[in-house]
């Protein structure tokens, strides 16, 4: 008989966003800016976060983001253009 292992639960979008924002804060604290190269990955919480890609996507979607999301990233010195 084979052992059946449950697949890890998928994270919600809110959880993924919180992890990406926390990784962005970590990067900002270390580097002093949020000019993240698109190919950059950040190690956070034992995982690898594709931070550069996420930051780039936030810039593209800036007009559609909720004001509090814009404020969170602006507080880290996000360059929107």
- Residue 39: other Cβ atoms inside 10 A: 10
Q: How many residues does the chain have?
A: 81
Which pLDDT tens digit goes with each residue over 9-54?
788 999 999 999 999 999 999 999 999 999 999 999 999 999 999 9
Q: Model's pTM, two decimal places?
A: 0.83
Give me the pLDDT at residue 1, please: 61
**What kind and span of H or E run contains 49?**
strand 47-49
Instruction: Give long-range contacts, CB 8 A cutoff, 24+ apart: 14-17.
Output: 17/69
For the chain, the distance separating the N- and C-terminal CA atoms, rounded to the nearest angstrom, is 58
């Amino acid at each position: 008989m084979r052992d059946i292992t449950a697949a890890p639960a998928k994270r919600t979008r809110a959880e993924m966003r919180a992890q990406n924002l926390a990784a962005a804060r970590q990067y900002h604290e270390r580097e002093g800016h949020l000019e993240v190269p698109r190919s950059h990955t950040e190690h956070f919480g034992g995982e690898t976060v594709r931070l550069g890609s996420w930051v780039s996507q936030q810039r593209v979607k800036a007009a559609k983001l909720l004001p509090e999301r814009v404020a969170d990233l602006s507080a880290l010195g996000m360059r929107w253009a």
